[in-house]
Amino acid sequence: MNPPIHRNPITAVESPAVGVTIDGLTKNFGPFQALKNVSFAVEPGEIFVLMGPSGSGKSVLLKHIVGLEAATAGRVLINDQDAAAAHTLERIRIALVFQAGALFNSLSVYDNLALYPREHRFGDEATIRDKVMRALQILSLENSAQKFPSELSGGMRKRVAIARALVMEPQLMLYDEPTSELDPVMSATISEIIATLKDEYHVTTIVVSHDRELALGIADRVGILMGGELVFLGPPASLRQPADPRIADFFHPRIDLKNPRFKNLET
């Protein structure tokens, strides 16, 4: 079967969507093993949500995909090219939306978005302006172009980060906790944006999140990491009544207020 066609949200140019293969990935930080022989594949054009408790290795895995961390063992392949190789970022456009946005504080929203096309010389200033304004428009940020990141709310910062990623015309979008620290309305908005980008443009998407609603709402498939191991891989529907007690505890935590751990809550 042919891979779905990725349509660029900014230029509308079409190209095959990319797939990602994680093959026996292991990462040690000193004696601590953050990832233990993790293997799975993300199909071209799908939304894959990677979940797990804090410290389970989700963000570390994401950093391996974009080449920010080097694996202790195993490898990450993007369209059969090693993600750790320097040329991969030159051949495949990968955008990572960081948890806190990682916007450049000294640049305005417009310049944050324009940095990538300017540095890679994607046309003259007028072309770049069109691209940037189109991305701002998709995220309903046209009126914030001249603002600085310090003047934006948490939700707007996330949207600017997504807009900056869109300007890169990515074939692979990675989101690190896109709905953390946001109110429910803004979380739903961000989830909708992620789903819309996938539905309309077939951008292969990997989302790292704690957010159950987001996973069940937008994911094509879900992976769950616990203690650096992949303990679940499958469609989100099978998470509604999980058989594995560890996953059931993660999705439907039972908090016993009589437990001595919570004695301070009772008083």
Partner 1 sequence: MKQLTHFLQGFGSAVQLLLQSARFIGTLPRQRARFIDQCYLIGYTTLPIVAILCFFMGSVLALQSGYSMENFGAKQFIGSLVGLSFARELGPVIVAILVAGRVGSAITAELASMKVYQEVDALVTMNIPPARILVLPRLAAVLVMMPVLAIIGNLIGWFGGAVVCKYVESIAIEPEAYFSALRRYMKFQDVGTGLIKAEIFGFVVVLICCSIGLNTRGGPREIGASVTKAVVVSLISILVLDYFVTKALM
Chain contacts with partner 1 (rule: CB under 8 A)? 63, 66-68, 89-90, 94-96, 98, 100, 102-105, 115-116, 119-120, 168
Least Cβ distance, residue 59 to partner 1 (angstroms): 11
Task: In whole angstroms, give the CA distance from residue 157 to residue 146.
Answer: 13
Of 98 and 251, nearer to partner 1 (C-beta) is 98
Q: How far apart are CA 230 and CA 140, in angstroms?
A: 37
As a whole number of angstroms, the distance between CA 90 and CA 146 comes to: 30
Cα separation values, 83 from 11, 46, 63, 73, 156, Å: 25, 19, 10, 13, 30
State the minimum distance, in angstroms, from the CB of residue 41 to partner 1: 21
Choice between 98 and 110, CB closer to partner 1: 98
Taking the complex as a whole, the smallest distance from the CB of residue 28 to partner 1 amounts, in Å, to 17
In whole angstroms, give the CA distance from residue 110 to residue 112. 5
Angle at 39 between CA 33 and CA 40, to 5 degrees: 140
Q: Measured from the CB of residue 52, what is the shortest distance to partner 1 in angstroms?
A: 20
Least CB distance to partner 1 at residue 231 (A): 28
Output phi, psi for 124, to 5 deg: -80, 180
What's the rounded Cα separation, in Å, for the pair 186 and 154? 9
Nearer to partner 1, 7 or 63 (CB): 63
